[in-house]
Structures are given as C-alpha cells and as structure tokens.
Structure 1
Amino acid sequence: MISFWAEKGVDGFRLDVINLVSKEQDYQNDYQGDGRRFYTDGPRVHQYLRELSAAVFNKYGAVTVGEMSSTSLQQCQQYSALDGKELSMVFNFHHLKVDYVKGQKWTQAPFDFIELKTIFNHWQQGMFGKGWSALFWCNHDQPRIVSRLGNDQQYRVESAKMLATSLHMMQGTPYVYQGEEIAMTNPGYTSVEQYRDLESTNMYDIMLNQQGKSEQQVLAILAQKSRDNSRTPIQWNGDPHAGFTKGVPWLEVAKNYKQINVEQALKDQNSVFYYYQRLIALRKEVEVITAGDYTDLAPEHRQLFCYQRRSDKQTLICINNYYDKPFAYVLPMNLELHNAHYIIGNYPEILSVQATRSVALKPYECRVLLIENH
C-alpha cells in the first residue's frame, strides 16, 4: 500500500501510533494498568520498521515521521537513529501533558512550566547526535497552543510568536499545524451541542453523570482540553463561516474569525504569519539551529525559558518570557557578547537594540541572540 503511493510520487509519510504495531503474543491480562505495556514499543516493532524502510522508504527516498504513543527516549533514539534504517524522525507527546493533573487529561489546570522545560531538556539532550525529533505544539488532537500556554486575549500575537520561537530554535524539524501560523484560538464553545468529537461528548456524560461534576465545570474542562478546539475550520476571511464553506461546517468557527483570519494576517507585516516565515528562513540561514547542542540556562526559573544552542562556529541564546509580567534577566557571565546581535524577536524594535548582559523583557517577550564563536 505504501509502495502504491510512493510510485505516484508521494515524498513523505506520517505513521500513526506506529510503535503500537507489535504485541506480546501471550495476550496477558493487565491487572496493574490499561494493557499498554503489552503493546507499546513491542518485541518486533524495530524489525517491522526496518523491513518497511528497506522495502519502501529508503528505496524511494521518502521522509518519514513516526507518531509515538507513550514511548521513551531510548526507543526514539532507535526509531530515528541517524543511520536511517527505520524512520527519519519521531513525534512524542510528553511536553503536551504538562497541564494534566496527576496524568489525567480531563482536568482543568494551569500548565507546569518547570516540568515543560525539564521535558524539553531531556529530549533535546538525549536525541542530540543519536536521533531526530519532530518539533510541534499543535495537531488535530491538541488544543490551540496560544490558548493553552499563551494569552489568547491581550497578548495573543506576542505570546503566539514567543511560543513559536521557543520551539523553532530547538534541534529537530518543526511542524506548523493549520491555523497556528495566524494564531487561531480555541473557539470557546459554551454548550455540549457544539462539540462533535466522540471522546469529548462521552467524557461530558461521564464527568456529569458519573463523577458528579457540575455542567459549568465540565464545559470549562472541555473548553480547555477537547480535541475539537483544533478542528474548527481554517479562518480564511471575514465572510460567513470565515470563508471556509458556503454550506454549514461540521464545527462552528470561532467567534473571533472577523479579526483573526488569513486575509487580515497577509495585510499586516507584523502578523504571526510573516513571523513564522522568518523563523523558517532562519533555520536555513543559521547553522547552529540545526547542528548545535542544547543547554537550559535557567531550568528552575519560574518565568523564563532561556536556552543555549552551541556549535563549533556559533552560539545561539533563545530567551522567552512565558508570562505577562515584565522582568529583567542577566545572561551568564561566561558569554562573550561583544560579537553578538539579535536575529529575531517578537517586539519589532529588538533588531535595532544592542546586545547587553542585562535583558529587560516585556510581557511574553522573546529574543534570539546569535554569537559568532572565535
């Protein structure tokens, strides 16, 4: 089946939950969990992937990305090993569970910022020189990132750009999900009738009728966690249904579509859309983004995500304020700044600012500093 599409010229394949295709053959009951330990990263999964790769992916020069469910760093080092015998790169979801309370998705809570940085550090350092990651915030199963980790009201544009920057300056291949490049938000549905996702409507019934939560509580949880948050129609313009269709869409568009749409983004040179273009261009221009190692410079800081990428020729510092409070930060004393300059930031004036050791950050501000090594 894959060869059929490769013969037609398809250049890349995403393999859904591919690490679940090999099962333990004795089919035990699981009295401690939900059974996933018997089918996750199973006994023959690497054999299967090597067979697929030899027969199709390497034969046709295809790019492949494997979606990995409940996997580990060690497994992903092997799935995406640089010898190319299995997959080109891997998705993992650990960083998108930092707003789960005790591992439970259907809860309402702020995200754990320290845990988010810890997970990125674990994977960035662990994959360096061994495998290759797919970098992402959004997909069809995840709420909109600007609503989830950013501020989708007063600082929607600033926080969307900051979140994009903090991801795109890491090592790996970034993925941009439809609507992310114009900072689309969760739709803010207020009735269960607006949801179509069966997981969401089933959980509405369970939380309301079995767990004893109030309807207000349940709707607040759905508004934060439902997969339908990311499945609303792309907002093309200010026409009815955001220009997506002349019919009735499967899901209602967000009420903010007249302000947040592609047409408006293309008219504004400071829009999130053009900012994404610049981030993508930088990955082709600045070698250290692709090749450098990774060090978290402030792992315990409760407001700042600041990391360093370093290669033989260059050092890059990515500075991100994840909150709406301004503050000053002092860069490490061992950084040589006399040969440093800013290459991007979400407040436009940053490119004309001289690099100094003390950095005064605005709400949700990000800056990327490039240093040419001697």
Structure 2
Amino acid sequence: MDKRKWWKESVVYQIYPQSFCDDNGDGIGDILGIIKKLDYLKWLGVDVLWLSPFYPSPGYDNGYDISDYEGVDPRYGTMEDFERLLAEAHSRDLKVIIDLVVNHTSDEHPWFTAANVDKTAPTRDYYIWREPGSDGQLPNNWGALFGGPAWSLDRDSEEYYLHLFSPKQPDLNWENPKLRADVYAMMDRWLARGVDGFRMDVISLIAKPADLSDGPVGPSGYFDPRGRIAANPRVHEHLREMRQKALAGHDIMTVGEAAATTLEEARRFTNPDGSELDMVFQFEHMDLDGGETFKWNDQVIPLPELKKVMAKWQQGLEQRGWNALFWNNHDQPRMLSRLGDEGELRETSAKMLAVCLHMLKGTPFIYQGEELGMTNMCFASSDQLRDSESRNAYQRYTEDGSISKEDMLRYISLKSRDNARTPMQWSGNIGAGFTTGKPWMDINANYTVINAQEQKSRGDSVLAFYRELIRLRRNYAVIVYGEFVPDDLDNPDVFAYQRCLLHQRLYVCCNFTSQRQQWVPPEAFAGDDVELLLTNIEASTYLENHQLAPYEAVVLLKEE
C-alpha cells in the first residue's frame, strides 16, 4: 500500500476568486466573499481550498499576469483580509493552497519594468532576451500559446524577449540563480504566513532548453515549443533545489501544472521520495477533442481513447507517483457540457461523471460550480468574451476568413476558458447570489435553475451527491489507496474498472450514453455478498438485471 499522506486522502476545491462571491457589490468576487462561503465548503466536506491568483495584476490573463507576488489586488481586498481568510479556514480544519506563477510575470512587474528601461539593470537577466535573427526578424519561429509569435521586440534595447503565452507575460530566466533565490524567498514568506502549499502554474515549462532553434510549423503558423521545453531535464534540478531551499521542513501540498509532460517525466515529478512535487496535473485526457493541436472545433472526446489515457496514467503512476484527478478547472470548458447531458439528464450525467472521477486513484479536485452541475455558456457575441486567448482567436480566425463568426462563437461556447469563469451560481435571485452589482462577466442564464440554494434543499441534488462521494472517500481506504484495474477499454459506451486493496474490492461502471446498456460485472462481483455501495439512479435495477440506465453510475463493494 502507498505511504499514507494527508494530501492523498483529501478532496480539493478550486476557487477562482474573481467569479466566486462578491461581498462589496462591485461585480467582482473578493476575499471577504470567500470567507462568507467557508461554512458551505465545510458542509460540502472538502479538505483543501486552492485559490487561483488574487495578487496585483493588470488582468490581461485574468490574474495569471502578476505584477506583485506578495500583495493582494485591491479588487479582491487587503492582506489583512487574506490573513483573516487563512485563520477562518484553519479554524474549520480547511487547508489553503495558493497559486505560484513563476514561469512568467506581468510586463508591469518591477523586475521587468526595470529591465526594460536599462540593459544593465540587476533584473535584466531575470528574463530571456535574444538579438534579432540573421534576417533582422524574430529569433526563431516559436509561437505563443495565446496566438502570434513567442517573441516581442523591446524597441529601446532592440532585443526580443521570450513569452510563451502573451507579450504581457514575459518568461523568467530560471538559469539565473539570483532569480531562483528571490522566488524561494518569496515562497518562504507565504509559508510563514501559514499557507498550506502551492499549485504551481505551468511549472514544467520553467526550464528553457539551450536549443532555441526553429521547429516544424503547426496549425497556428508557428512551432509549438512546449514539447521541447517540457522535456528539458533542468526542470527537475530546479524543483529539487526548490524542495531543499523553500519547501523542506513544511508539511504541505504541492501540485504542478505539467503541460505537455510524459508519463516518464511525471514519475520524476511525483517520485514517492518527495524530492520534487506531490502530484501533477497532466492534460492528455483534456486534449482528446483536438485541444492539443487546434481547440477551435466541435469534436467530442471519444470514450475509448479517454479510458485508455486514464488507465495509462492510473497504472503508470501506481506505486511510482500520484495522480491529480480533475475534469474541470479555470482553463477548461465544463466537462458536463463536453461528455454529459445539458438537458433532462443533466443531474444524472453530472453525478455519473463525479463517480467516474472520484473513484479513480488520486487526489480529486472539484472546480467551483462543478458540484452543482454548472454548464458551459452560450456566447451570442464576442463582446461577452473576457478570456484573452478566446478574444485573440475570434479576431484572428474571423478576420482571415478561415472560420465564420457563427461557427467561431459556437466553438468558443464549446471550448473557451470563459466557460469556467462565469460567476458562481449561488441562488436564483438577480445576480445569482454572486453580486448585487453588475457582474464583471455575464452570468449563465440557467442560474435560475442551477444554483446552490435550490440544490442544498434537496437530498437528491448533484450537490448532495458530491457530499456523499466525499463521505465515502473518508470511510473506505480502498477508494484512496486501492490499485486500479481497468475493464474493457475498447467499449465505446461504458467506463468500468476495479479498485483493489487488501480484503476490499470495488467495481465501478459508468454509462456515458443516453441509452440503456447491458453490462455484466466480473464473476467476482456477481454473488449475494456484493453490496451496491453507490448509484446515481433512485430505483436502480442493476443488481437484478445488470442493466445500466442512461448515464447511470454504479459502485459495487465486495469485502472478503
């Protein structure tokens, strides 16, 4: 059995502060709003709160362009508010982890503004600069993930700086030991304030390779350098140094966002010896509908491919690492809209997706509103968009004529990051209980039907079901530590697997379709000593006829 750790047994709830709860009525979520909802989160049963950035930021990338790593953006409150949040959370036995965004800063961070003015500034080498190419143009053909080239020209110094995301987000130079020391010192000060760990944004990309040569051009018109960067072994050296100089001696949680990582690399990131990170977010399952190559489409994730990817990571990290389990986050459209049903079977399919994920091996992450079955937004106009990636894509592909405006809005409604960032739906009142003012972005029109107030009043709601899932996790060690054993990975309709630990065995089968499915469990789960531990169907007949109702999820328990 894996070594017991509190972060393995926890359930994490991600809060996107701007969209969670607005206390002062200015239309923007804030820290005092989060404090107001701590009792709700404690009631739900989660153990850890992950706060997306609340630091000072120009807001070009919704807070992931940070201009001060050790402050609180006035839109969200004050440092005193944050310290109160920590104290209030800890008094409820809720831990708090915060975002660490150290692949890049904002171009308004003092490090960059000083470097941009003076080539001899001490922080000039905190960033990655190159002279123009031999033709006087870009240093290479690398593309930025938010569109356009990955290099921008500083006209004062006549040198280009690297930005893997936006020109407003210059990449940091992790080869500079002074930069690393400043980052570790900053982390140490947050730990001294009492935070319980870090979610590390695109941490797999911090170590840039010596090879900055051109690469093959993809659909964007540029080379996507993530694969080359994520494979750079220097990242492991940096993380081991970080563990020694910033994290040693602290009983905390660390989870890294590992874009373009491989299974072998993930084993190194999450080595059980604790030398680097506790777990990583990998995105192979998120990219099965075209996201890795070109996300603006209406492709659907194929279930057999999804199952094979999930099984690969479940089995590949067995005893060699730890999985971070997620369907949703601030960068992903709502999984309910991708693989579930937005109509009459919305709640049933939302519960099925929850079972499928939470019964896997790893630490589950719930993104705000997921526990309600919140859905994607239907964007009727580009004026509704707030996400820089989506705005840039809309402008580019509609202006060059490659995608019509109607199709692009449809693709954005399916795939945009803005789908995750619509305000939290607390009630059916005007403002959805999120704000008494004008919200910073439009609220999904279905808030009158889908909201926490209504669901908390029902024992059969999606919210109540998530609460039961979390309770079961506390009561059955097999859910946390049991080995994963897949079943029929090629079946296009049902996702089924076993979990095995000592004398406990679970069998999980989830119908991903709107049709009834005949699904016979393994012989070991066919006897009278098998218990129906959980189902999302009120009058399930699965034990009698082995038929799964549309979007039904079943968990069988056998104790030997």
User: Do the aligned residues in 2 keep the contact of 1:344 with 1:367 (CA within 8 Å)?
Assistant: yes
**Percent identity (aligned):** 39
Distance 2:416 2:324 in 1: 23
Kindly indicate whether residue 204 of structure 2 is the aligned counterpart of residue 204 of structure 1: no
Distance 1:342 1:206 in 2: 52
Aligned in 2, Cα 1:354/1:233: closer, same or farther, shift over 3 Å? closer
Q: State the alpha-carbon separation in 1 of the partners of residues 211 and 392 from structure 2.
A: 32
**Retained in 2: the 8 A contact 1:136–1:174?**
yes
Query: Do structure 1's residue 15 and structure 2's residue 200 form an aligned pair?
Result: yes
Q: Which amino acid aligns with 1:187?
A: M
Is the 2:257–2:282 Cα contact (8 Å) retained in structure 1?
yes
Contact 1:156 1:183 in 2 (8 A): yes
Q: Which residue of 2 aligns with 1:368?
A: 555
Q: Which runs of 5+ in 1 are unaligned?
A: none
Q: Deviations over 1:127-169 (max 9, x none)?
A: 1110001100000110111111100111110000000100000
In structure 2, the CA distance between the partners of 1:354 and 1:31, relative to structure 1 (3 Å rule), is: closer
Q: Give 1:160's match in structure 2, choosing from 339, 350, 363.
A: 350
| C-alpha separation in 2, matches of 1:60 and 1:26 | 36
Give the 3-state SS of the residue equivalent to 1:55 in structure 2: helix
User: Once the 2 structures are TM-superposed, how far is the Cα of residue 202 of structure 1 from its aligned partner?
Assistant: 1.3
TM-superposed deviation, 1:54: 2.0
**One-letter code aligned to 2:188:** S
Are the structure 2 counterparts of residues 61 and 253 from structure 1 closer, same or farther at C-alpha, using a change threshold of 3 Å?
Answer: same
Please say which of residues 37-46 and 224-233 is displaced more in the overlay.
Answer: 37-46
Using the alignment, how far apart are the partners of 2:227 and 2:254 within structure 1?
Answer: 25
Pairing of 1:31-110 with structure 2 (within 5 A): 31=216, 33-100=223-290, 103-110=293-300
Give secondary structure in 2 for the equivalent of 1:308.
strand
> Where is the helix percentage greater, Structure 1 or Structure 2?
1
Residue pair 1:341, 1:354 contacting (<8 A) in 2 also: no
Q: Are the counterparts in 1 of residues 332 and 420 from structure 2 also a CA contact under 8 Å? A: yes
What is the distance in 1 between the residues matched to 2:298 and 2:228?
30
Do residues 3 (structure 1) and 188 (structure 2) align? yes
Residue identity matched to 2:519: Y
> Please, which moves more after superposition, 129-138 or 304-313?
304-313
Provide the secondary structure at the position in 1 that maps to 2:290. coil
User: Does 1:254 find its partner at 2:459?
Assistant: no
Q: Distance in 2 between matches of 1:65 and 1:143?
A: 21
Secondary structure at the counterpart of residue 330 of structure 1: coil
Deviation, structure 1 residue 334: 4.7
SS of aligned partner of 1:60: coil
Q: How far 1:268 moved relative to its partner? A: 0.9
User: Is 1:359 equivalent to 2:546 in the alignment?
Assistant: yes
Structure 1 position 31, deviation (Å): 4.2
Task: Compute the displacement of 1:38 (Å).
Answer: 3.4
The whole-number CA distance in structure 2 between the counterparts of 1:34 and 1:142 is 20
Aligned counterpart, 1:136: 326
Q: CA RMSD in A?
A: 1.6
**C-alpha distance in 2 between matches for 1:314 and 1:213:** 53
Q: Distance in 1 between matches of 2:401 and 2:241?
A: 46
Choose which of 372, 377, 384 in structure 2 pairs with 1:187: 377
1:244 shift after superposition = 1.0
Deviation, structure 1 residue 116: 0.4
Q: Shift of residue 271 of structure 1?
A: 0.8
Letter in 2 for 1:12: G
Quote the Cα distance in structure 2 between the aligned partners of 1:149 and 1:261.
21
Question: Is the contact made by 1:29 and 1:35 (CA closer than 8 Å) also made in structure 2?
Answer: no
Secondary structure of the corresponding residue to residue 96 of structure 1: coil
Task: Report the CA distance between 1:335 and its aligned residue.
Answer: 4.2
Deviation (angstroms), 1:104: 1.9
**Residues 1:117 and 1:190: Cα distance change in structure 2 (over 3 Å):** same
Deviation digits for residues 149-204 of structure 1 (CA, Å, limit 9, x no counterpart): 10011111000000010000000000000000111111212111111111111111
- Residue number in structure 1 paired with 2:137: none
- Matched letter for residue 354 of structure 2: A
C-alpha separation between the residues in 1 aligned to 2:498 and 2:201?
A: 32
Count of residues in Structure 1 that have an aligned counterpart in Structure 2: 370
Instruction: After superposing the two structures, state which structure 1 stretch, 36-45 or 320-329, moved more.
Output: 36-45
Q: Distance in 2 between matches of 1:70 and 1:5?
A: 28
The equivalent position to 2:509 in structure 1, one of 298, 309, 319, is 319
TM superposition shift of 1:211: 4.3
Equivalent pair of 1:23/1:43 in contact (CA under 8 Å): no
The CA deviation at 1:367 is 0.5
Higher mean Cα deviation, 50-59 or 73-82?
Answer: 50-59
Q: Structure 1: how far apart are the matches of 2:347 and 2:356?
A: 14
- 1:102 Cα offset (Å): 8.1
Whole-Å separation in 2 of the counterparts to 1:203 and 1:179 = 26
Residue ranges of structure 2 left out of the alignment (5+ in a row) = 1-185, 218-222
The two structures have a TM-score, normalised by structure 1, of: 0.95
How much has 1:318 moved relative to structure 2?
0.6
Of residues 83-92 and 285-294 in structure 1, the stretch that sits farther from structure 2 once superposed is: 285-294
Structure-2 residue corresponding to 1:111: 301
TM-score (norm 2): 0.64
- The aligned counterpart of 1:25 is 210
Runs of 4+ in 1 over 4 A off after TM superposition: none
CA change 1:257–1:58 in 2 (3 A) is: same
Partner of 2:337: 147
Which one has the largest radius of gyration? 2
| Preserved contact between residue 525 and residue 556 of structure 2 (Cα < 8 Å) | no
